[in-house]
Structure 1
């Protein structure tokens, strides 16, 4: 069994870089030819809201992002963003830019598909 430090290092090479610092890998499941990575945003109040008295209020519904395949398996990232609330009940969250515009693909994977095949990601034969 890999020690925790080695596993954390391996995850850095597999997941998109913007997820590494702000999300925790909470589960991995294989379902047929798909590997599902489940990630939860870490409980760190966004710096732009540091002046507010915020408390955690669970998560928004999970978003699914298609990423690079691994060993002939499709990869889906299930990302849950944290929700924060102030004393009045107003909700806050960190602003994320995790997918390519107009797609559900990670930015790097969408760029690769477009460059390699010349297709918009949703019409590519391997997506």
Structure 2
């Protein structure tokens, strides 16, 4: 039931790639209520890579994004992206590409920029601005 409700709230297809770790509700500032959804990327190597060559090496630092409000509550998404390291060349790190989740969907610009930043073909040293 929780997953069905989350599918209504989160961008379409999000739960195909991310698991909900926890959901918090609270109050901040001048009695502003919020919902904070913590998501972690599933352990799914990008399709074009050989699982014998790569291993999951944890997550990036969680990125806190602001999503559209729900019932007068601010909505925050903390998203942890998984990274995979090449077993023989530890400097080769890859990420999944979620640009297909963007399409013409209505999402915040911050959310869109977050997903555009990572691609399965990029390595961390090229991600830094």
TM-score (normalizing by structure 1): 0.69
Q: What RMSD in Å do the two structures reach over aligned CA positions?
A: 2.6
* Residue 31 of structure 1: how far off its partner (Å): 2.7
Question: Can you list the C-alpha shifts for 1:62-92, whole angstroms capped at 9, x where unaligned?
Answer: 1122212112101011110001001211211
Paired residues of 2:67 and 2:107 also in contact (CA < 8 A): no
Does residue 104 of structure 1 match 2:110?
yes
Unaligned runs of 5+ in 2: 28-32, 114-129
Q: Relative to 1, partners in 2 of residues 1:54 and 1:92: Cα closer, same or farther, differing over 3 Å?
A: same
Give the structure 1 partner of residue 42 of structure 2. Answer: 42
Paired residues of 1:25 and 1:40 also in contact (CA < 8 A): yes
Q: How does 1:1-127 map to 2 (within 5 A)?
A: 6-32=1-27, 33-50=33-50, 53-87=53-87, 88-89=89-90, 90-97=92-99, 103-105=109-111
* Residue 57 of structure 1: how far off its partner (Å): 0.2
Give the paired residue count.
102
TM-score (normalizing by structure 2): 0.68
Unaligned runs of 5+ in 1: 1-5, 108-127
* Residue 105 of structure 1: how far off its partner (Å): 4.1
Q: Relative to 1, partners in 2 of residues 1:101 and 1:14: Cα closer, same or farther, differing over 3 Å?
A: closer
